[in-house]
Amino acid sequence: MIPQFADSDAPSLPLWLVRPGEAGPDLSSDIDPLAANWARAQGFAAKAGQVCLLPLPDGGLGGTLFGLGPQPTDRPARDRFALARAAEALPAGNWRLANRPQGFDLALGALGWLFAQYRFDRYKRVEAPGARLVCPEGLDRDRLIAMAAGEYLARDLINTPASDMGPGELEQAARDLAGRHGAGIEVVCGDDLIARNFPMIHAVGRAGAQAPRLIDIRFPGEGPRLTLVGKGVCFDTGGLDIKPAASMALMKKDMGGAANVLGLAETLARLGLHRDMRLRILIPAVENAISANAFRPGDILTSRKGLTVEVNNTDAEGRLVLADALALAAEEAPELLVSMATLTGAARVALGPELPPFFCDDDALAAAIQGAGRAHGDPVWRLPFWEPYEAMIEPAIADLDNAPSGGFAGAITAALFLRRFAGQARAYAHFDIYGWQPSAAPGRPKGGAGQAMRAILHALPEILR
């Protein structure tokens, strides 16, 4: 699918955005008094998502009132894509905003409308909403479409089941992106991972039906180095420490980190921002499967960096494949190294599905990311690299433990593990995302979801300083 606005010169109907207490004659002098009377007779109270279609004297449609609900007291309001409800509720056709309520974030509203158009229709026909918005004057149309396109790509990749989104198909998606934007791509696959010193990626993925691989995309550009590393575990059985069936049900989304870095790269490339930096994408793509050659609990793996890792749980495989990719990325000492991964259940227990934690030692950068996320409807929450917990990831017979016993501070210990491999980067940020919308919400249908992409995008001035 391609996100789109209605053409600005196409015939369109007016859409008035109304908050409680504003419905009535004082709404706008442009509304016919008969229409205002009609709205009152219909009991229109501007509740969130409430629609009142306004008839013309000849019986035609003259526009609509749309309820925004009460004025939010905080920018990251519970209903942060309020206008997305209109895309779902209004009749098919083109609509233009007839007013701009005070305090309403017009850009976020327009982006939510684009998000609401998304439908995953690969396996059955699903009609997208027919209501199209004319991009409001003064907004950057191309920027909004680029952000929506990145979101659509991430959602599509996550929603696709592992039967059609294994390591090979994820590689093809990366090749398609590189081809669209003139980027170079190199893939190290199968036993070549051993020859090229990516032993942990190989160990985790060698039991899969498709060979494990490391996908490396470089975009043309000059300036600071920004390297994005995304976890590409296309399905996670848990390995020999097998998950129960209920925990395996959503494991097609375990490549959500890879989907999100590809979605962010799509947005950056569409906007041409990659030309102002040296943008690199690294994705270790594997399936954590069960076979005679699967890696085992108790194995000691030697990483690309030379650190040894004791495997105390084969279901903590994401940090293993990320470690080799981060070690490669750090060898170039990028100005910013970012990892994104559906990594720990502990992060979900702490913050739930909608608020991914991130870890960053650079206070200014962390503030920029969290502030950008708050301002642009993409909330994230900073957690600490709490160094007293370093001892928890240091077992007796190896340098590192991939799954400390006890279960305390699981998101933090995973982040500390990854940080051991990001050493040469000037700044490092790790995002422990969920990548899934568990129930439908305005602009966010149930299914795969982008997280932290816009927070990173809008923090770029700080990243590129």
User: In 10 A of CB 333, how many CB atoms?
Assistant: 13
319 is catalytic: yes
Q: DSSP H helical segments within 65-166, as ranges? A: 84-89, 106-116, 141-159
- Coil/strand/helix, residue 13: strand
- Known active-site residue 446: no
Number of Cβ within 10 Å of residue 258's Cβ equals 33
Both tokens assigned to 99: 């007013």
Quote the CA–CA distance of 126 and 437 in Å, as a whole number. 18
Tell me the three state secondary structure of residue 62. Answer: strand
Alpha-carbon span 361 to 179, nearest angstrom: 35
The three-state DSSP-derived secondary structure of 275-319 is HHCEEEEEEEEEEECCCCCCCCCCCEEECCCCCEEECCCCCCCHH
Q: What are phi and psi of 461, to 5 degrees?
A: -55, -40
For every residue of 378-431, DSSP letters joined together read ---EE----GGGGGGG--SSSSEESS-TT-TTHHHHHHHHHHTT-TTSSSEEEE
Put residue 182 in one of left, alpha, beta given phi > 0 → left and psi -120 to 50 → alpha: left
Catalytic residue among 85, 132, 319, 454: 319
Retrieve residue 36's tokens: 């205002």
- The one catalytic residue in 218, 243, 275, 382 is 243
* Structure token pair of residue 462: 């700080």
Catalytic annotation, residues = 243, 319
